């Protein structure tokens, strides 16, 4: 039975969802690219002949590649306005696209500028390449940086990424910082559009120093302070379902972190061989002053080893991150749809999200319903609806179509819908929800696939 306060909350109009800064951030990034193009344009008086066309194209692709490298690193800096405002999954997609764009620009710059120089000098491409690499200032470092960037790009390609471990991908990805550092200096010593132009040079230094400061602050100093102050350790590990375990973490003054239901941290467990990489796991219960809890499904080497953690294991955390929170709510009614271990952030929201809430949990079988006892207790306590979508005895999956969703929730289009689950599931559900008339602005999704 609902309380009086809960009934009032269900009837009260929802506050408007917090406006995402994504549009402003994108406008800023594209504005920077436009400034780079303007710099090249004003510094290009005339283009005559094939050599000029090639070197001119090489210059603009080089400038844009240098700008894209700074953007690429900035998107990796875990700045709160991006991670919590825009959303970690969207920032990750931006980073992936920026990475592909950066590699393309770098390769285009290398090919075009070498062809242009070869045409100017009347030399073969091989000879010109050796001359540039071996005799031009800072070019050996730039060549090494380019090689590293290409290697990072290759290992990030989907076909390769799916065949390598997260640990290998993570450590190779960190080499991006070194690649950008190595390539930076030749931009100033050899870049015609920067060399001899004090304002342009000052802008370039400010861009790179600013990005470096963001990385230093948010990826090093802030996590160091967090972990020195809060001193997280594993308190206990509990099985929840086949291959699924909850980890209770104890620390000091955890309320200062201002973590919210629906958010996640990046975790390093300094034991059981799990301290080499940080992995995102969502909070599976509302955080308390001295405790937090995550629930992890064994999907890889790192997550499978979580069950072996022992009480007292030290924990290194970074966060909180993510925007799958109450701030996105625009309606007094909400539908939470989880698949598999995607239940973890939605379980915390199911307990705390104001208004009329329905949770739909997709799993293979009843024994795969992690945290089912807690969900049923929450549903009973707050008078919320809890629906399960389980496979039939013959293994057939239930169809979550627009029709079936409407049958379960007749006024579906008036709900905010929070979705968490595998990418394919989330994509299919999104299409079903749009067909059912749910506005795009009311469909909230965050993916933690790396």
> Any residues with CB less than 8 A from the CB of 22 and at least 6 apart, and which?
85, 86, 87, 90
CB 235 within 8 A of CB 311: yes
| Cα–Cα distance for residue pair 417/403, rounded to 1 Å | 16
pLDDT tens digits for range 75-101: 999 999 998 888 888 898 899 899 999
Report the mean per-residue pLDDT for the chain.
Answer: 89
Q: What mean pLDDT is predicted for residues 427-435? A: 93
**Angstrom distance (rounded) from CA 306 to CA 308:** 5
Which 8-state DSSP code applies to residue 307?
A: G
What band does 250 get if pLDDT is binned at 50, 70 and 90? very high
Q: Using the predicted structure, report yes or no on whether residue 426 has a pLDDT greater than 50.
A: yes
Instruction: Tell me, yes or no, if the pTM score tops 0.85.
Output: no
pLDDT given at position 172? 83
Nearest-10 crossing angle of helices 166-190, 49-75:
130
Instruction: Provide the pLDDT for residue 316.
Output: 95
Strands 233-241 and 244-250 come out as: antiparallel
Task: Specify whether the CB–CB gap between 93 and 450 falls below 8 A.
Answer: no
Cα–Cα distance measured from residue 424 to residue 202, given in angstroms and rounded to the nearest whole number: 46
Q: Is the peptide bond before 320 cis (omega within 30 degrees of 0)?
A: yes
Sheet of 416-420: strands edge to edge?
A: 385-390, 356-363, 333-339, 416-420, 443-445
The fraction of the chain above a pLDDT of 70, given in percent, is 95
Place of tokens 């579906």: 412
Task: Quote the tokens at residue 5.
Answer: 């306060």
pLDDT of residue 394: 82
Contacts of 446 (CB under 8 A, 6+ apart): 87, 88, 89, 262, 322, 323, 324, 345, 420
Mean pLDDT, rounded, for 428-437:
94
Band (pLDDT 50/70/90 cuts) for residue 409 is: very high
Q: Which of 272-281, 375-384, 405-414 has the lowest mean pLDDT?
A: 272-281
Tell me whether residue 290 is exposed, middle or buried, using C-beta atoms within 10 angstroms of its C-beta: 0 to 12, 13 to 18, 19 or more: middle
- Residue 121 near residue 67 (C-beta atoms within 8 A): no
Distance CA 180, CA 275 (A): 26
Residue pair 114/125 in contact (Cβ under 8 Å)? The answer is: yes
216-246 residue pLDDT tens = 999 999 999 999 999 999 999 999 999 999 9
Provide mean pLDDT across the span 400-406: 92
Could you give the CA distance from residue 142 to residue 130 in angstroms, rounded to a whole number? Answer: 13
């Amino acid at each position: 039975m609902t309380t009086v306060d809960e009934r009032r909350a269900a009837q009260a109009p929802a506050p408007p969802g917090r406006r995402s800064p994504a549009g402003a951030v994108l406008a800023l990034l594209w504005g920077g690219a436009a400034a780079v193009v303007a710099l090249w344009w004003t510094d290009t008086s005339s283009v005559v002949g094939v050599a000029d066309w090639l070197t001119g194209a090489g210059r603009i692709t080089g400038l844009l590649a240098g700008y894209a490298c700074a953007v690429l690193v900035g998107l990796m800096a875990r700045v709160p306005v991006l991670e919590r405002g825009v959303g970690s999954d969207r920032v990750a997609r931006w980073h992936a696209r920026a990475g592909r764009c950066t590699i393309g620009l770098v390769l285009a710059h290398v090919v075009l500028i070498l062809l242009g120089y070869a045409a100017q000098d009347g030399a073969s491409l091989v000879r010109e390449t050796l001359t540039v690499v071996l005799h031009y200032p800072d070019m050996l470092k730039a060549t090494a940086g380019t090689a590293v960037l290409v290697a990072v790009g290759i290992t990030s390609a989907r076909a390769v990424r799916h065949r390598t471990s997260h640990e290998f991908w993570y450590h190779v990805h960190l080499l991006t910082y070194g690649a950008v550092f190595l390539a930076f200096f030749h931009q100033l010593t050899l870049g015609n559009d920067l060399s001899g132009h004090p304002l342009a040079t000052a802008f370039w230094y400010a861009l790179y120093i600013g990005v470096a400061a963001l990385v230093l602050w948010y990826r090093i100093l802030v996590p160091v302070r967090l972990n020195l102050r809060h001193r997280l350790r594993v308190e206990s590990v509990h099985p929840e379902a086949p291959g699924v375990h909850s980890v209770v973490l104890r620390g000091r003054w955890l309320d200062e972190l201002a973590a919210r239901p629906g958010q996640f941290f990046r975790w390093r467990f300094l034991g059981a061989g799990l301290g080499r990489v940080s992995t995102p796991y969502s909070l599976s219960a509302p955080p308390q002053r001295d405790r937090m809890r995550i629930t992890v499904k064994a999907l890889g080497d790192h997550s499978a080893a979580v069950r072996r953690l022992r009480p007292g294991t030290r924990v290194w955390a970074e966060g909180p991150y993510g925007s799958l929170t109450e701030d996105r709510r625009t309606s007094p009614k909400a539908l939470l749809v989880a698949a598999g271990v995607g239940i973890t952030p939605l379980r915390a929201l199911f307990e705390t999200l104001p208004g009329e809430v329905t949770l739909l949990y997709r799993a293979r079988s009843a024994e795969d319903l992690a945290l089912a006892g807690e969900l049923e207790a929450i549903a009973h306590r707050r008078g919320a609806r809890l629906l399960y979508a389980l496979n039939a005895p013959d293994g057939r999956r239930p169809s979550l179509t627009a029709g079936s969703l409407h049958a379960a929730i007749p006024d579906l289009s008036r709900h905010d819908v929070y979705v968490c689950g595998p990418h394919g599931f989330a994509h299919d559900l999104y299409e079903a929800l749009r067909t059912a008339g749910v506005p795009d602005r009311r469909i909230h999704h965050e993916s933690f696939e790396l």
